[in-house]
């Protein structure tokens, strides 16, 4: 095996725990691009770095928090949004971002995802969707496309996947975007928008998982997936949200874009509205 390629300095080093590099992610994985987009967005945010907090769950994407030189919390499988809710409520000045995967946030943690969206609480969720459980060896998740082969659906996935932007819209998220990791600048801008947005932000980042997903399906390597993203991504501003399912078929398009932004009373304002009274109580 070749030794890992390391670099002495990188423009993004100042936001990374460089003493923890090299990271554990596979060559061709899209997670590095997500970290890069997030860290650039932090630079551009105008929000004091110490107020940025990152929370993640378990899995490959769950390791994101561990590489960022911020206050970072690596929590249990599926629960980072619930954990982040506590952080945000206890100190609303924090800019709390959850970075985790499709298995973590939308499968085992799906309940927390929809309820945080329902509350329209001011959290930024970056869901890195690679259609698979990567770290545990490529098992099917709630976003594995219909018919796709995984290590638990060797004949093809007979379960239907979530259409996450549509789910988020239905649950009450007020800022919804989707990009592939190839859309690096757009992804970064959506994350910056999430920082600015007062309410629940959901940014889906489609990412190759060359080992866990790609090679079992139509993508021999990471470059194949990136080529697919390059050739078949369609930018749409106001798509029909019901049509946003992804089948990762080389012949199908992947719709990306900033899909939805709505003004709805955010969690803290809504609470204030009902709680101006400071009442007496019976003891």
- Residues of this chain that interact with another protein (CB under 8 A) are 17, 19-20, 50-51, 53, 55, 65-66, 69-80, 82-91, 93-94, 111-112, 115, 275, 278-279, 281-283
Closest alpha carbon to 38 in 4, 60, 58, 65: 65
Percent helix, percent strand, percent coil in the chain, to nearest 5: 35, 20, 45
- Cβ closer to another protein: 24 or 235? 24
- Cβ closer to another protein: 89 or 265? 89
The count of other CB atoms within 10 Å of the CB of residue 176 is: 26
The count of other CB atoms within 10 Å of the CB of residue 93 is: 8
- Cβ closer to another protein: 66 or 266? 66
Q: Cβ distance 165 to 241 under 8 Å?
A: yes
Q: 82 — phi, psi (to 5°)?
A: -65, -40
* Pairwise CA distance, residues 249 & 232, whole Å: 10
How many residues are recorded in the chain? 283
* Residue 189 per-residue DSSP state: H
CB of 91 to another protein, least distance (A): 4
- Cβ closer to another protein: 2 or 273? 273
CB of 271 to another protein, least distance (A): 8
CB of 99 to another protein, least distance (A): 14
- Cβ closer to another protein: 15 or 209? 15
Cβ neighbors of 179 (< 8 A, separation 6 or more) are: 186, 187, 190, 203, 204, 205, 206, 256, 257
- DSSP code per residue over 67-110: HBSSEEEE--TT-HHHHHHHHHHH-TTSEEEEEEEHIIIIIITH
CB of 13 to another protein, least distance (A): 14
- Cβ closer to another protein: 41 or 254? 41
- Cβ closer to another protein: 109 or 145? 109
CB of 100 to another protein, least distance (A): 13
Give, to the nearest 10 degrees, the angle between helix 184-196 and helix 31-45: 50
CB of 69 to another protein, least distance (A): 5
CB of 76 to another protein, least distance (A): 5
């Amino acid at each position: 095996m070749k030794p890992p390629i390391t670099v002495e300095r990188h423009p993004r080093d100042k936001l990374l725990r460089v003493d923890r590099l090299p990271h554990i992610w596979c060559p061709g994985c899209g997670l590095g691009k997500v970290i890069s987009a997030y860290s650039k967005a932090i630079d551009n945010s105008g929000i004091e770095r110490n107020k940025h907090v990152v929370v993640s769950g378990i899995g490959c994407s769950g390791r994101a928090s561990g590489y960022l030189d911020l206050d970072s919390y690596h929590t249990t499988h599926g629960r980072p949004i619930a954990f982040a809710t506590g952080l945000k409520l206890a100190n609303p000045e924090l800019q709390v971002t959850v970075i985790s995967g499709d298995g973590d946030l939308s499968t085992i943690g799906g309940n927390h995802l929809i309820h945080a969206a329902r509350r329209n609480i001011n959290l930024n969720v970056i869901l890195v969707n690679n259609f698979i459980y990567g770290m545990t060896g490529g098992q099917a998740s709630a976003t594995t496309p219909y018919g796709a082969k995984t290590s638990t659906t060797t004949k093809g996935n007979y379960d239907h996947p979530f259409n996450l932007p549509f789910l988020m819209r239905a649950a009450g998220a007020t800022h919804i975007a989707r990009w592939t990791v190839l859309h690096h600048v757009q992804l970064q801008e959506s994350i910056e928008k999430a920082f600015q947005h007062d309410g629940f932000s959901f940014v889906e980042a489609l990412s190759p998982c060359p080992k866990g997903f790609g090679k079992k399906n139509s993508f021999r390597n990471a470059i194949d997936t990136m080529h697919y993203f390059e050739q078949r991504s369609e930018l749409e501003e106001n798509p029909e949200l019901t049509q946003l399912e992804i089948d990762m078929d080389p012949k199908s398009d992947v719709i990306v874009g900033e899909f939805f932004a709505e003004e709805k009373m955010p969690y803290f304002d809504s609470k204030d509205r009902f709680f101006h009274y400071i009442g007496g109580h019976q003891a």
